[in-house]
Every structure is written in structure tokens, then in C-alpha cells.
A and B are shown apart, each in its own frame.
Chain A
Amino acid sequence: QQQVKQSPQSLIVQKGGIPIINCAYENTAFDYFPWYQQFPGKGPALLIAIRPDVSEKKEGRFTISFNKSAKQFSLHIMDSQPGDSATYFCAADSASKIIFGSGTRLSIRP
């Protein structure tokens, strides 16, 4: 049973485009929603996070949109760059556990 569903599995975007990664959850006990970025051979690192009482959060070129009633949230990357090519994971935090989505492999073409 996958508690956090993430799509798409892979995504190719031209430089300057706006990739969008979507996630959905079922457990209403989740109360913190981070996104992690992972480069090949490295561990994931926190990119941006949001709490359910906020509908949008921006940090630089990265934006999280959150729809509490639909139990969905998404990551947008503005003015994407080749250096943004990585695997992105959404996650949901409930009590002590962090549950991750299945990941999206993003490639930004020059």
C-alpha cells in the first residue's frame, strides 16, 4: 500500500521550461510535506517543505502548491536549468515517520 503516490516517474523538459511533479496522499494525519532532491551517488537533501495550513510556498525558483481538500501537492521549478537534473521525492510526515513517494527522474535538456 503506497501512502504517497508520485507522478510522473520520469520527466524531460527543455531549459527554461517549468517541470511539474505531482503527489497525492491518503492519510489525513500527515502534517508536514517536504520535497527532497537527489543527485546520482548522493543521499537525498531537503529542497523545500510546506505545512498543510499554507496553500503555496516559494523558495527561489522552487514552488510547492498544496491542496488540502484534494490531498494533493505539487512541485514547480521555474526557469529550469540543466543543473536541476536530478531525482525528486515528495514525502509526508506523520508523527515520527517520513513516508516518501516513488520519485521522479527529471532531465533538463540544454
Chain B
Amino acid sequence: GENVEQHPSTLSVQEGDSAVIKCTYSDSASNYFPWYKQELGKGPQLIIDIRSNVGEKKDQRIAVTLNKTAKHFSLHITETQPEDSAVYFCAARKGGSYIPTFGRGTSLIVHP
């Protein structure tokens, strides 16, 4: 089955810096890659997603890049703010399936 690796497990940055979280996947049939933000005591919220027919997608301060050949995708957050502090999960889903495989999560801490 699919295996998703996520790094780093913890990321600490200063407010205003950029943060990058990287994920790799194993199944070349995966074609949908969502990113979720989970604040303490809450459920994950979809913040951005990318499908395999594009290489990059941007939404204000967040962007996701996908390299299908290398089977990795990354989340980029620019001009980080303390409210960006949360756990971020990447996921990969195969075509024909609606069950994603999640990474283990990255705890992002933005220091004011």
C-alpha cells in the first residue's frame, strides 16, 4: 500500500521567516495530495491541495509543490505568523480511492 513520509517532525521558526515541510510517497498511482492544519484540540482543516496534473499551487502565503518523478511534495509557508503554529499533515490518495494515507505530522512553532 501507500506509504507517506513527512519531515521534519518539529519545525521552529521566527515570525516572518518561511517554513517548509516535505513529504514523500511511495505509490506512483497517487494523484491527489492535500495538506491539513490541526490546531490543538481541533480537527484537521484542509488548507491547500494539489493534483498530479499541476506542479505548483499557491494561495496567499501558502504554496504546495509537487515533483511526480521524485514522488515528493512540499508545503511552503511564507511570512509566518504565530497563528500558523499548529500540526500540519500531508496526505496522498490514489486514483480510484477516496481514502488518503496521512503522514505523521509536523509540529510548526512560530515564535513571535
- Does chain A bind chain B? no
- Interface of A toward B, CB cutoff 8 Å: none
